[in-house]
Amino acid sequence: MLSSATCHVEAIMEARRAYPFDRIEPKWQRIWRERRVFRAANPGEPGAQKPKYYVLDMFPYPSGRGLHVGHLEGYTASDIVARYKRMRGFNVLHPMGWDAFGLPAEQHAIATGIHPRITTERNIANFRAQIEAMGFSYDWSREIKTTDPGYYRWTQWIFLQLFRRGLAYVAEAPVWYCPALQTVLANEEILPSPEGPVSERGHHPVERRPLRQWMLRITAYAERLLADLDLVEWPESIKEMQRNWIGRSEGAAIRFPIEGKDVSVEVFTTRPDTLFGATYLVLAPEHPLVSEITRPECRTAVEAYQQEVAKKSDLERSELSGGKTGVSLGSFAINPASRERIPVWIADYVLMSYGTGAIMAVPAHDERDYEFATLFGLPVRSVVRPADSSDPPARCFSGEGIACSSRFLDGLPTREAKKAMIAWLEEKGVGKRTVQYRLRDWLFSRQRYWGEPFPIIWRNGKAEAVPETELPVLLPERKEFSPEKGGFAPLSQEKSWVELPDGGRRETNTMPQWAGSCWYYLRYLDPANGQALVSPVAERYWMGPQGVDLYIGGAEHAVLHLLYARFWHKFLYDIGVVSTPEPFHRLVNQGIILGEDGRKMSKSFGNIVNPDGLLREYGADTVRLFEMFLGPLEQMKPWSSQGLEGPHRFLARVWRLVMEEDAEGRWTPRPGLSTEEAPLEVRRILHQTIRKVTDDLEQLSFHTAIAQMMILVNALTRQLVQWRCVLEPLILLLSPFAPHLCEELWSALGQTDSLAYARWPEADPRLLAEEEAEWVIQINGKVRGRMTAARSLGREEAEALARRRPEIEAWIEGKSVQKVVFVPGKLLNFVVGPS
């Protein structure tokens, strides 16, 4: 009973198999693997005399859930490009590896007691099997994983170089702490949410805590990270996000002396031209000078306010909580321009972490200052008027205009006034031109087990570098993975590892997951090198002249991985390890694939598409083709399981152009393939297809390339004979998309070599230029007729021909033709008026 039901199901599965993908796909995967077809040649090896092409995927974190259709989209696109470029004669580097440190494996270990290494290995094996089943042409001899000591040795090495040059340091600062994950997180790993800030991973609530942590001085590279965005071909939206994140603003630092004290408060402003309108100062409540400046009679109120602010969460401090608060310090500062006494306040709308932690308030020209001044009855002095009005505006005006009531600035437009004021400040020695960035230093330590140990030993309260010869500092084995209560890292429990005989203690924090992914694209170039992270020869060959030629991945890393990696790359450039200022020349983001219901794929919606079932039912070539046929690569698009039928039927049609099935269900090459030249209209459509597919591949417009191949195949299906000279180029054109099927047909046509390095077909320009064209004839811009005539027709001939056509005559009859627009080879437009 049971077995007959199984037989029945198998019979159905067998019946719906339109071509034997289940046999040919594993076959060709085995051949590619055994013959090492996709090994890329390093300098000195045969093949390295070709020009190089480096096409890179964002390597995955091997999660327990396996690959999803979104991964497959990006990986299929990059694989198509890799296969295409090989056929165009490039030595293609197309590697894959594993971003294998990270929180999920560690959380799983805490829950189950299974070592993260074991889960990670298991997940990697699963990912690799899925990737191989898709037929991707990776050079597996270059596979890397970030958890490998031979790899993280060099992650630690880079950290040491940063440390030596003062770019890695320990500081106590208010940092984001996540109680659920029991670790600190970087600014870039925090997301806003209606309930307040949450962690990027897991969406747990996070809070500010003052802690001593390792920081990387990414701010030292702010200017170059900003300026060099002009060197790369990235989506404008990603560049813009990085620009906003870096947040450069030009202005002036101005010192305000405090009346009766020997101190002054420095403020940063982008509007030095409004200095004459500065009617009070505001310091951040945490500003170090607050206690010194506060008058005795205000001290109680000020301290109470400071405590109140310290208790507030960041959410409460943000504008969502409504009105502004603050208290006066009772003291006065001197406005260096107007010489006026102006009061000094503290308020939590001024942040200690930006600029100097103090501002000059110009309520007439800043919305926030205006709101505060109105609330506390502080004076408002207008010093800029709009360019189109002679009067200063009644309320706050924050735009650019003309300076007024500002003595030596009067009459100057804002831009000029800023320059004049900065010159004046510099001359008087009370201020100077300054550039500020929103970017903060990168919080680099985590209180977790499953990460790279820091190569640092503490002696007498000082951090010392572990000698490079002792790298890697190995992550010790553990059975217990929970972080200690109170923010101590798990490694601190590993006494025999932490405590050194000479009294030194190892650093017990580990690096964040981003560390390993900051430079992995360099290790692929020379993955087994034990002397250096990459040999200079391999680096110059693969990274020259502009770095990775094409980098495909998700947009979610816009200000995380992509900013961090640029920072490390620029540092490695400065110390001579790499030869290009930017790592990734051309970046393309694949769009998110939504569930069938149009919502984001998620467990809670139950709309996640598992690729394994699709591969069984349709085969890898169909899944690859369909992923590309969904729509433009960069666009967000919904999945459609029904839609798979189209590409599947298309591949089966291609198969049947070459193969035929006998009575026993065996497929054999069709006898009677013509070796003659195909008719002109068939050759013409073939060469149009060659041209279109080639152009579209260069632009990564895969879905339109597929559509064109469908047009060609539909035309061939209608023919009674098939021609070898048409089928061969078609198979080559299709092979980057559906490599297994094409390899099988290629060998069925008698070819003995893999087509992976076969020469890409070239379009014959003579066949593209058609002599006849279909001309469109318009009357007043509306199509009223068409005619087939020579493409080369001149204006007069074309017009005369068109006028003779009855459908056109009818429209012109009795009207006056005022003008005739002529587009050679394409179109005529008669502009007619009433009679």
Residue 693, phi then psi, degrees to nearest 5: -65, -40
Query: Minimal distance in Å, beta carbon 322 to RNA?
Result: 8
Residue 120 touches RNA, criterion: CB under 7 A: no
Query: Minimal distance in Å, beta carbon 555 to RNA?
Result: 7
Question: Which residues, numbered 145-164, are part of the site for RNA (CB under 7 A)?
Answer: none
Residue 22 touches RNA, criterion: CB under 7 A: no
Q: How far apart are CA 48 and CA 3, in angstroms?
A: 56
Query: Minimal distance in Å, beta carbon 598 to RNA?
Result: 8
Query: Minimal distance in Å, beta carbon 425 to RNA?
Result: 14
Residue (66 or 247) nearer to RNA, CB: 247
Q: Crossing angle, helix 645-658 and helix 702-717, to 10 degrees?
A: 50
Residue (94 or 784) nearer to RNA, CB: 784
Residue (637 or 724) nearer to RNA, CB: 637
Site string for RNA, 604-643 (x = CB under 7 A): -------------------------xxxx--xxxx-x-xx
Query: Minimal distance in Å, beta carbon 781 to RNA?
Result: 3
Query: Minimal distance in Å, beta carbon 133 to RNA?
Result: 23
Question: Which residues, numbered 811-830, are part of the site for RNA (CB under 7 A)?
Answer: 819, 821, 823, 826-827, 829
Dig out the tokens for 193 from the structure: 């949410």
Q: How far apart are CA 42 and CA 32, in angstroms?
A: 19
Question: Which residues, numbered 256-275, are part of the site for RNA (CB under 7 A)?
Answer: 268-271
Query: Minimal distance in Å, beta carbon 355 to RNA?
Result: 4
From the list 819, 590, 623, the residue with the least C-alpha distance to 740 is 623
Residue (36 or 243) nearer to RNA, CB: 243
Residue (579 or 701) nearer to RNA, CB: 701
Residue 539 touches RNA, criterion: CB under 7 A: no
Residue 683 touches RNA, criterion: CB under 7 A: no
Residue (264 or 535) nearer to RNA, CB: 264
Answer yes or no: are the C-beta atoms of 123 and 143 closer than 8 Å.
no
End-to-end Cα distance, the chain: 86
Residue 703 touches RNA, criterion: CB under 7 A: yes
Sign of CA dihedral 142, 145, 151, 155: positive
Question: Which residues, numbered 432-471, are part of the site for RNA (CB under 7 A)?
Answer: 436, 438
Residue (164 or 649) nearer to RNA, CB: 649
Q: Which of 10, 410, 797, 807 binds RNA (CB under 7 A)?
A: 807
Residue 602 touches RNA, criterion: CB under 7 A: no
Amino acid at 130: Q
Number of residues that bind RNA (CB under 7 A): 85
Dig out the tokens for 322 from the structure: 């409504």
Question: Which residues, numbered 378-437, are part of the site for RNA (CB under 7 A)?
Answer: 436
Residue 9 touches RNA, criterion: CB under 7 A: no
Query: Minimal distance in Å, beta carbon 734 to RNA?
Result: 13
Query: Minimal distance in Å, beta carbon 771 to RNA?
Result: 15
Residue (122 or 317) nearer to RNA, CB: 317
Residue 172 touches RNA, criterion: CB under 7 A: no
Burial of 489 from C-beta contacts in 10 A (0-12 / 13-18 / 19+): buried
Q: How far apart are CA 653 and CA 485, in angstroms?
A: 64
Question: Which residues, numbered 786-805, are part of the site for RNA (CB under 7 A)?
Answer: 786
Q: How far apart are CA 245 and CA 462, in angstroms?
A: 33
Question: Which residues, numbered 338-377, are part of the site for RNA (CB under 7 A)?
Answer: 348-351, 353-355, 357, 359, 366, 368
Residue (249 or 747) nearer to RNA, CB: 249
Residue 664 touches RNA, criterion: CB under 7 A: no
Residue 780 touches RNA, criterion: CB under 7 A: yes
Residue 474 touches RNA, criterion: CB under 7 A: no
Determine how many CB atoms are found less than 10 A away from the CB of residue 411.
11
Dig out the tokens for 812 from the structure: 């012109």
Query: Minimal distance in Å, beta carbon 653 to RNA?
Result: 5
Residue (162 or 628) nearer to RNA, CB: 628
Query: Minimal distance in Å, beta carbon 632 to RNA?
Result: 4
What are the distances in angstroms from CA 239 to CA 23, 55, 190, 264?
46, 20, 20, 39
Site string for RNA, 718-737 (x = CB under 7 A): x-------------------
Residue 203 touches RNA, criterion: CB under 7 A: no
Residue 653 touches RNA, criterion: CB under 7 A: yes
Question: Which residues, numbered 557-596, are part of the site for RNA (CB under 7 A)?
Answer: 558-559
Return the biggest CA–CA distance within the chain. Answer: 108
Residue 83 touches RNA, criterion: CB under 7 A: no
Q: How far apart are CA 776 and CA 785, in angstroms?
A: 6
Q: Which of 6, 112, 141, 244 binds RNA (CB under 7 A)?
A: 244
Q: How far apart are CA 215 and CA 443, in angstroms?
A: 5
Question: Which residues, numbered 275-314, are part of the site for RNA (CB under 7 A)?
Answer: 284
Sign of CA dihedral 120, 126, 127, 128: positive
Residue 193 touches RNA, criterion: CB under 7 A: no
Dig out the tokens for 474 from the structure: 């190995």
Question: Which residues, numbered 219-238, are part of the site for RNA (CB under 7 A)?
Answer: 236-237
- Beta carbons within 8 Å of 444's beta carbon, 6+ residues apart: 168, 186, 213, 214, 215, 216, 511, 512, 515
Could you tell me how many residues make up the chain? Answer: 835
Residue showing tokens 């087939």: 788
Query: Minimal distance in Å, beta carbon 248 to RNA?
Result: 8
Q: How far apart are CA 78 and CA 466, in angstroms?
A: 40
Q: Bridge partners of 326?
A: 347
Tell me the window of 379-387, 465-473, 488-496, 552-560 that interacts with RNA (CB under 7 A).
552-560
Cis check: omega of the bond before 104, within 30 degrees of 0: no
CA dihedral 702, 708, 714, 716 (to 10 degrees): -110
Please report which residue ranges of 35-115 form alpha helices under DSSP H: 69-87, 103-112
What secondary structure does DSSP assign to 803-820, as a single string?
Answer: HTSHHHHHHHTTSEEEEE
What secondary structure does DSSP assign to 171-226, as a single string?
Answer: EEEEEEEETTTTEEE-GGGEE--TTS-EETTTT-B-EEEEEEEEEE-GGGGHHHHH
Residue (50 or 786) nearer to RNA, CB: 786
Residue (217 or 637) nearer to RNA, CB: 637
Q: How far apart are CA 285 and CA 289, in angstroms?
A: 10
Residue 405, phi then psi, degrees to nearest 5: 50, 35
Q: Which of 249, 546, 579, 688 binds RNA (CB under 7 A)?
A: 249
Query: Minimal distance in Å, beta carbon 635 to RNA?
Result: 5
Answer yes or no: are the C-beta atoms of 257 and 341 closer than 8 Å.
no
Residue (129 or 304) nearer to RNA, CB: 304
